[in-house]
Structure 1
Amino acid sequence: MIVVTGAAGFIASCLVSRLNQDNFNDIVVVDNFSVAKKEDNLKGKKIKEFVDRENFFEWLDNNYEEVEFVFHLGARTDTTEFNKDVFDLLNLNYSKKMWNACAEYQIPMVYASSAATYGSGSLGYDDNEATIPLLKPLNPYGDSKNDFDKWALEQTAKPFFWTGLKFFNVYGPNEYHKARMASVIFHTYNQIKEKGSMTLFRSHNPDYADGEQMRDFVYVKDVVEVCVFLMHHRKNSGIYNLGSGEARTFMALALNTFEAMGVPADIDFMDTPESIRDTYQYFTEANMSKLRSIGYNKPFYTLEEGVKDYVQNYLLPGKYY
């Protein structure tokens, strides 16, 4: 059996589909299933068992001998939430419990970290584990992810294989439920569909023109491909970046969305809200050489390829992955 936590969410539900494609059908999905807004993400998928996250560790104590792998992707991901207790409960303490259980039962695991751990990027975007204790995230979400990365590296009891993945700006199908935390591409598509135009944040940094703020946008199909690779690889434990490796501008993202929709580009700008202006990242780009060095050699979707696939094959027809 393969366990996937946060399974009704964005990335994890895509991973379940990807595993099904390779005929991994004995999948145990873990989530807070009282949140009905995400239920469509798991429709039609081959699943062995649904386990509520509150009951998971009791379930694992009774079933660990049958568990082959754990993907711990469940987390609170709201970067605008500033209640540290929420993140301590779900992102830090629950993850520690998952790690300890996988270490005790020697179950290999992959868990979700985040590029939010890099903060302003003043120390760069290299997944060098020696720099992790020096990183200064810009919000409690980033803190919670970095706190767990630091804790994991300090442990003497470990799963026999483990990997933390620093997800950069992931976009793609199955994020319909994420509201304001959905990708910019999702919001761009909906704005264009509703108004025929798109509004981007104005730059408040003299080094960047309006719309030229840059992010490493990574397509969710690449993310799950890396997860499947690691499930089979099971060596070279550690913390790895997971982005496309190429920063692109928000302007390029918007223009590609207009093109994929067959709509003339119409872009204007609004001031970045003051509540996030001081913590706004103007540039992120994953150094992907570490993952490449352990044998992951598949090409990543370009922004053009990913946006076209997402818009034309999922958003326009309203489909799930």
Structure 2
Amino acid sequence: MNLSRLNDFLCGWRRSIVPVLVICALCAVMLTWVIGMHFAFWPNLVFSVCIGMTTMTLIRGGYALLWGDGRPATWGLGALVTVAAPAGFVLGGALASAMLGLPFTNFGLNHLHANTAVLVMSVLVSLLATWYFWTQGRLERMKADTALTEQRALEARMQLLQAQIEPHMLFNTLANLQGLITLDPQRAQHLLDQLIHYLRATLSSSRSALNTLEQEFALTGAYLELMSMRMGKRLSYTLELPAELTGLKVPPMLLQPLVENAIRHGLEPNISGGNVTVSATLQQNVLTLSVRNNGLGLDQPGVAGDGIGTANVRERLRLLYGASATFSLSQNQPAGALAQLTIPMKS
């Protein structure tokens, strides 16, 4: 028996202990007051527990040895029980006799009718218990299959959310590039280099389940560099990532939608433009990511914080962390808006 099958056997054996003990107690009651065995309740309980646990061990062990985590045919399982029940009766009876200090021949061998009744009851109870555990096993496999399906659906949904990057930025950048090719070839070359760098970083992030903060800030920096070439002196930016936080893992592309919103709603409509500051802090195993701008505030028309970008971020946080992660959007002081994410980090 390999380690995988041994682990399956031990897990199944542990799950079976309580139900088997309950069944054994009921059998002891029947042996004492229904069938009328010549022992009192306590010895009958010892015999029932020993026979029941031995039989269950033989069935579980045989199942793991023959089929592992597979699904046996009904006849195969029935054959296993047919062999395991009498064997469990003999071995369990011998164990109980030894525990009680009795010769094994005393256990029902002087009362053939009682011995036969106990054996038949052992087989019937074994069949009933096996059917119960087989049904439980099927339910567990169905739950596992359902959980796997839900996990795959969640992964697909996450990939879809990650892919929802606003195309207008790319189109605007390409339009600017087209205009610069004739007017300022050197600047056009620089813009093209930044665009290639940004797209490469985006492609790498979209294929990962988790990125380091260093990668996220690099992607955000590439995006901001593109935007600064478009907006010129109207846009400045600051990236604040402490060296000790660079290796922390976070979901990819959480910051970019917030930076896009800051520029689109806060700085582009503002005649004088402004500054975007992206920062990360860690306190008591809670990571806080902040994107603040000093442009137009949330009280301006069209800046309500319920667009596609923020909805995307909220939904991804909900799917990944439930209620343990938060997203907030508030007024920045003295002007602009502040978007903040809090994400629990494993200690």
The TM tier, using the shorter chain, reads under 0.3
Q: Which has the higher helix share?
A: 2
Tell me the TM-score normalised to structure 2 length: 0.20
Higher relative contact order (CA 8 A, sep 6+): 1
Whichever of the two has the greater Rg, that structure is: 2
Q: Which has the higher strand share?
A: 1
